[in-house]
Chains A and B, each alone.
Chain A
């Protein structure tokens, strides 16, 4: 199975900050990665797929990059509604797996 390791597991930031989350895969997965945002008590929401393609309706302050084993999610200017937990998911092979999550909290 492909393991995904996210870092950090928690970060605190202020509105307007640039935030970067990393996801590392245990083996190369090309660009077969998606990012989701999850708020408490809600289902995950798709932000990015194919490592860097923004899902329709997602603000352009979100961006993704990477390939192979290392990927990043960047929020260019953190907004109040962005405080949430972010998960990566690999699409490369079954079983589909998720990273451990990065919780973005208010500083």
Chain B
């Protein structure tokens, strides 16, 4: 069955960077686009961007432009999301989510990674 397993919780100081991983199994990794969505405490989910795992193309939410980088390692079936210049308001649970075949909705999600920005 499809599984997306993310790396563990992180605590970072303001201005630092964080890199979250998402290891996929149970399907052909390169056939699907992977998205990243974050959810601050008590807030709605916020879409961050995607990577076409097959060709490496990416697209990001404009608000994150320059701060977020999504990459993948096809040999490890793993996608990564790196967020730099962290701010207190970046405290959130970060999810990877698999897109259904060009449809822009998500049928499988990682378990989430809590990133806490604190001094």
Contact surface of A with B, Cβ cutoff 8 Å: 32, 34, 42-46, 49-50, 55, 87, 89, 91, 94-101
Contacts and interface: CB of A to CB of B under 8 A. Distances in A.
A49 B47 contact: no
Given A87-B45, A99-B44, A101-B44, A43 B111 contact: yes
Given A43-B95, A43-B112, A49-B100, A97 B47 contact: yes
Contacts, number: 46
26 contacts: A42-B112, A43-B97, A43-B109, A43-B110, A43-B111, A44-B45, A44-B95, A44-B109, A49-B100, A50-B103, A55-B107, A87-B44, A87-B45, A89-B45, A89-B105, A91-B104, A94-B59, A95-B61, A95-B62, A96-B47, A98-B44, A98-B45, A98-B46, A98-B47, A99-B44, A100-B44
Contacts of A45: 109
Interface in B74-119: 95, 97, 100, 103-107, 109-112
A89 B86 CA distance: 26
The DSSP consensus for interface residues of chain A is loop
A101 B41 CA distance: 13
Interface string B18-52: 00000000000000000100000000111100000
Q: Give the interface centre of A46, A55, A96 by most chain B CB atoms within 10 Å.
A: A96
Interface residues of B, number: 20
Contacts of B110: 43
B44 A46 contact: no
B21 to A, nearest CB: 16
Contacts of A100: 44
Contact of A49 (B44, B61, B105): B105
Most A-side CB within 10 Å, residue of B46, B106, B111 = B106
A91 B107 contact: no
Contacts of A44: 45, 95, 106, 109
A96 B109 contact: no
Contacts of A89: 45, 105
